Structure 1
Amino acid sequence: MRLHRNLVFAVVDALNYIFNEGEYADKVVEKVLKYDKRWGARDRGFIAETTYDMVRWKRLYAEIAEVKAPYSRPNLFRMFAVWAVLKGIKLPDWKQLEPTPERRIKGRFDELSKIRKYRESVPDWMDELAAKALGEALWTKEIAALNQQAEVILRVNTLKTTKDALKNALREAGIETEPIRGYPDALKLAERSNVFITEPFKLGWFEVQDASSQLVAPFLDVKPGQRVVDTCAGAGGKTLHLAALMENKGQLIALDIYGNKLKELKRRAKRDGAHNVETRHIETTKVIKKLYDTADRVLIDAPCTGLGVLKRNPDAKWKLQPEFLEKIMVTQQEILQDYSRIVKPGGKLVYATCSILPQENIMQVKKFLSSEAGKDFHLVKESKIYSSKTGYDGFYMAQLEKNPA
């Protein structure tokens, strides 16, 4: 493989934005890919994948290159040289990449690979905390799985099409997919490609949604005609899945504290033909209070550390701070205490996170059940989804039922 100067410089620019300016990797990649309209799919793929790769293995590469934050441009080039050497790519004769001691890089890699926090490239605090919470063996397997590149998974929008019809339509567009056993509405891309420019996407035949995330809506056990409330709806990935499971019958209320996310949800719902979705912006507590004791089903897809989705958000490893966990646990419990009051007697509630930490999951559920607000609920079932077992994102779901009146 031959390295092209402008592509390498684009990667270094991207790393500077992410590591030094604290910008989000997905937004940065989007911005950098606009540098040159002449770049083809392969060039763009190189920039995006190399950037994500270097973000994922930042600690390991920085340690081998013997550089520390904040990272100057020469140091970012040194890290890039480490990446290239470990990938077996011949380095060009550029002044930015001189001199590069290949044997030393490989030697340091062998040495550091024996220590998990370097091998899996995680901060000390995260490694210690997760090992303690999950046990050494599970955390070792889990972080190795979470460091793999995420596959592209689609959720078939059953309001508009079938799995077979979508598979055939994508094949005509030159995109091969395969079903995944145990995930009824999922299709996996055989190789990465831009599905957003396809006709089936414009027609609302599918959404891009990880396989684990596709398990949350069915866990709520919704039926057509019910009143369902998605309390932390965001841009609506799970809301739209709920709409499909409800066959557009009944009322589906999507709540969020961020109005801009709900606008995006409205746009997506229109494309998907999800007509039973109603958005409500939580501007005051009145919005929640009006719904007390009225819903058959309530979904709380709670804000969390996101430790289960590091595959697709590798920069979260470097943005997360230990104090955030303490803060988010308080928020999670407040949300459970408050939003659980929307469930009517005999109704069901699902509490879900995309975290693998018990502190954010079963421990929150137990704390809620032993509180005044949770005394009328009982745990029906829970599901812990680990990336090391499924190959997809890490998730947690608990289904609670409220006692009949």
Structure 2
Amino acid sequence: MRAEALVGHAAELLRRMLRSAQPPDAVAQEYFRQRSYLGSKERRFVAEVTFAAVRCWGILRWCLARQSAPSVSVSPEWLVVVAMGYLGVQLGNPHLVPAFAAAAQVSENELWENLLTQVGWGVRGLKWLEELGQRVCVLERELQLLLRQPYSEWGPLQWELFSAACSFPEWILRCWMDNPWTSLTPAEVFLLCRTLMMPALPCVRVNTMRTSREHLLEELRQRGIAATPTVFSPVGIRLWERIAVHGLEPYRAGMLEVQEEGSQLVGYAVAPQATWRLWDACAGAGGKTLHLATLQQDRGEIWATDVDALRLRALRQRLRRAGVRSVRVGVLRPHDSLSNLPRRFDAVLIDAPCSGIGTVRRTPTLKWRLSPSALRRHQQRQLRLLQQYSSRVAPGGILVYATCSLMPEENFGVVTQFLKQHPEWEAEPIEPVFQSMGIQLPWILPQRPECLLLPSRHGTDGFFIARFRRRHSKR
């Protein structure tokens, strides 16, 4: 396909993503379903450059606003796509140019001249691209000077520059630096944001009831798939390329599940004994439910509930494929009674609905749509879930609260308020729990019940995990 047509498809998909309330992967799936004539290489480039453009939206807008395009006959989205493709290496997405060249069936050296000739920009277009690259260099130099100043002295122009370089809304950056629960420095925030501008690599979890990690790694190697053990999870495997995992024979045989490493660590924070009765109260499609079942070797009793019946249907399919029999699945809506559940559980996991800011490498539109009012609503719902569902934990039992958010209000703020209102709960240090599973996590404060996983530190998605124990009643 001609390079110009590829950019046109990417620009249209970008326009739809930015205007749709649906997750970007759902928008892309529907776009490609309606255009079945696009080949695999073409779909790959269009999807990857579009997702990268949303991840890097702030820095792209900053550069384009300071430079006139050679022509006004193209859409703003078209300019963003071309800028993202050209600046891919500088912005941590070096895979875009090879994907573009493969889809356009030209060499990488000829790619940009080929595209600009097709749209009639010629030499003017090449100069425009070179100046864009220089804009990024200027921004990075100004950022380094800015990071030497105390951020308390920054004015509106400095905050605008910092927000552009981070490609994140200013109010979220202020939350991370001003909130005493996180207190990240500007340099740490910038490193975090730059990490979140890069694509996330796929991760799978080994079903240890059917195979071992060593055996599965060898099988993947024989299939020509680059894969390595995860750094922290004892049963995780990181894939170093994007592949159709669902088409692999080991997946169909129930030997692996797609699950991000940070999500796997949530199951280890529960640390269930084999015969415990567990409740995964916000189970979704059941990645953590399945992991808990394997940690118990399918010998316990797990109740998995969620508000979304469609996601629970997917969980039932995954249970059958994995050969798990110890899980009971049921829909539980916000105002439903808990009377159909057992009165007491040995442990309850609340992986609460949240802003999802820790997953913006995969769902980048989230960071541009979140507002302070939406954040407050998330916080209120999370506290309500903790108060309601924690009542089913037996005395001496365990409560684990988790989110895939990096917002301190949803994490430290919620659990601090919960503990103040519920003296029957005590914080339990989480570091020894991980160590008992053979997991050494850096940047965990001793004697603290929580850990915050940062993509820039741990290489996982952003996750917050906290563990509490219910006190025995005094007689």
Change (3 A) 1:96 1:34: farther
93, 107, 116: which one pairs with 2:117?
Answer: 93
* 2:299 corresponding residue in structure 1: 249
For residues 294-373 of structure 1, the aligned pairs below 5 Å read 294-371=344-421
* 1:292 and 1:343 in contact (8 A); partners too: no
156, 159, 165: which one pairs with 1:119?
Answer: 165
* 1:12 and 1:73 in contact (8 A); partners too: no
Cα deviation, 1:214-247, whole Å, max 9, x if unaligned, reads 1001110101121100001111111111111111
230, 240, 260: which one pairs with 1:180?
Answer: 230
Q: Distance in 2 between matches of 1:289 and 1:368?
A: 23
Paired residue secondary structure (1:93): helix
* 1:262 corresponding residue in structure 2: 312
Between 224-233 and 160-169, the greater mean CA deviation after superposition = 160-169
390, 399, 402: which one pairs with 2:470?
Answer: 402
* 2:428 corresponding residue in structure 1: 380
* 2:13 corresponding residue in structure 1: 14
Change (3 A) 1:23 1:258: closer
* 2:52 corresponding residue in structure 1: 53
The two structures have a TM-score, normalised by structure 2, of: 0.78
Report deviation, 1:273: 1.2
Between 338-347 and 361-370, the greater mean CA deviation after superposition = 361-370
Cα deviation, 1:35-91, whole Å, max 9, x if unaligned, reads 554544433321221111111111222232239xxxx96111122232233248514
Q: Distance in 2 between matches of 1:122 and 1:265?
A: 34
* 2:215 corresponding residue in structure 1: 165
Between 115-124 and 246-255, the greater mean CA deviation after superposition = 115-124
110, 118, 132: which one pairs with 2:137?
Answer: 110
* 2:49 and 2:81 in contact (8 A); partners too: no
Q: Which amino acid aligns with 2:460?
A: Y
Q: Distance in 1 between matches of 2:178 and 2:411?
A: 15
Q: Distance in 2 between matches of 1:97 and 1:16?
A: 23
Change (3 A) 1:286 1:121: closer
Consecutive unaligned residues of structure 1, counting only runs of 5 or more, are: none
* 1:203 and 1:272 in contact (8 A); partners too: yes
Consecutive unaligned residues of structure 2, counting only runs of 5 or more, are: 67-72, 89-96, 98-110, 144-160, 430-449
* 2:49 and 2:85 in contact (8 A); partners too: no
For residues 125-136 of structure 1, the aligned pairs below 5 Å read 125-133=171-179, 134=182, 135-136=184-185
* 2:254 and 2:323 in contact (8 A); partners too: yes
Change (3 A) 1:73 1:32: farther
Cα deviation, 1:327-354, whole Å, max 9, x if unaligned, reads 1110011011101001011110101111
Q: Distance in 2 between matches of 1:378 and 1:251?
A: 25
Paired residue secondary structure (2:77): helix
Paired residue secondary structure (2:279): strand
Between 384-393 and 35-44, the greater mean CA deviation after superposition = 35-44
* 1:17 and 1:23 in contact (8 A); partners too: no
* 2:52 and 2:198 in contact (8 A); partners too: no
Q: In percent, how many aligned pairs have the same letter?
A: 30
Q: Which amino acid aligns with 1:21?
A: S
Q: Which amino acid aligns with 2:416?
A: K
Q: Which amino acid aligns with 1:201?
A: Y
1:203 is aligned to 2:241: no
* 1:33 and 1:47 in contact (8 A); partners too: no
